[in-house]
Structure 1
Amino acid sequence: MKKIVFAVAALALATTAAFADVIADRQAVMKENAKQVGTLVKMVKGEAPFDAAAVVAALTALNDNVQKIDVAASFPAGSDKGDTTASPKIWEDLAGFQAQVDKFKEVTAAAVASPAADLDALKAQVGTIGQTCGTCHEAFRVKKG
């Protein structure tokens, strides 16, 4: 009996640790996305000068990161528990969430294909990227605080 209890406890601990890794991995992706968007936003706000090479670098890094998002691998069933702001709505509407991720992939790919050549174009690109992020966050993220 002790062996069964130990085995079940070990399995539960391993499962919790696996979900913690998945959660940490997807949080790292989102933090990296925020970093790249932040570089662009600083230019839009006038906190940094427009720099076409920095725009291309930030858009490329953002797009590379976004294209790697695998909903099934990053949001497995049960990974809504723990230190996460992922909303349970993700698992209730996985197809809708996947559609939002796919839209984000399209938006970032389009931005890389035609990077902003000036500040006005960057403002438009950042607006589109921000709207895409915001739409997903409103529907599929639990607000902290």
Structure 2
Amino acid sequence: MRKLVIAISMLALAASAAFADPILDRQALMKERGKIVGGISKVVKDEEPFDAAAVLTQLQALQANAEKFDADALFPSGSDTGDTTAAPKIWEDMAGFKAVEDKYLADIKAATAAAPADVDTLKTQFGAIASNCGTCHQTYRVKKG
């Protein structure tokens, strides 16, 4: 019985450690975000037809993704080294970094609440959302290459 308890404890510890890497956690969150944004972008670029229900579902998924963003948990002190493109500016200006993410979330919530009824409305809303992405990437991300 004791061996079983130890084995279960070790598995629980390993599982929690697998989810305790802030670099991997934030990369997974951003990959998910990029996939959702990419889907909406196809509609905005007229590469896919506008479907109000599908767009709303994507906006809701983007909002849920943005609501999972916790700068303190994803960018703790010491997580600025390793396989990351997070710029040192994040830790130098955490308040500014959080403000950019807060604006991003607010713009997504507004777009979701408005439930765009046509592609032109979506293009306007998506422009605001995408500008937040650009601001963050230019200021708080190190370019690869």
Secondary structure of 1:36's aligned partner: helix
Secondary structure of 1:108's aligned partner: helix
Contact 2:63/2:109, CA 8 A, preserved across alignment: yes
Is residue 132 of structure 2 the alignment partner of residue 144 of structure 1? no
Contact 2:19/2:25, CA 8 A, preserved across alignment: no
Residue in 2 that maps onto 1:99: 99
Is residue 67 of structure 2 the alignment partner of residue 70 of structure 1? no
Aligned residues: 129
Compared with structure 1, are the counterparts of its residues 18 and 87 closer, same or farther at alpha carbon in structure 2 (3 Å cutoff)?
farther
Letter in 2 for 1:27: Q
Residue in 1 that maps onto 2:113: 113
- List gaps (5 residues or longer) in structure 2: 1-16
- List gaps (5 residues or longer) in structure 1: 1-16
Contact 2:52/2:118, CA 8 A, preserved across alignment: yes
Contact 2:43/2:49, CA 8 A, preserved across alignment: yes
For residues 125 and 144 of structure 2, the distance between their equivalents in structure 1, rounded to whole angstroms, comes to: 27
Q: CA deviation at 1:111?
A: 1.1
Q: What is the Cα-based RMSD across aligned positions, in Å? A: 1.6
Q: CA deviation at 1:141?
A: 0.4
Letter in 1 for 2:125: Q
Q: CA deviation at 1:20?
A: 7.8
Contact 1:20/1:82, CA 8 A, preserved across alignment: no
Q: CA deviation at 1:93?
A: 0.5
Compared with structure 1, are the counterparts of its residues 140 and 19 closer, same or farther at alpha carbon in structure 2 (3 Å cutoff)?
farther
Residue in 2 that maps onto 1:88: 88
Q: CA deviation at 1:69?
A: 0.8
Identical counterparts, % of pairs: 60
User: What is the TM-score of this pair, normalised by structure 1?
Assistant: 0.84
For residues 53 and 39 of structure 1, the distance between their equivalents in structure 2, rounded to whole angstroms, comes to: 13
Q: CA deviation at 1:45?
A: 1.0
Is residue 36 of structure 2 the alignment partner of residue 29 of structure 1? no
Q: CA deviation at 1:18?
A: 7.9
Q: CA deviation at 1:44?
A: 1.1
For residues 134 and 142 of structure 2, the distance between their equivalents in structure 1, rounded to whole angstroms, comes to: 12
Q: CA deviation at 1:38?
A: 0.8
Residue in 1 that maps onto 2:50: 50
Secondary structure of 2:83's aligned partner: coil
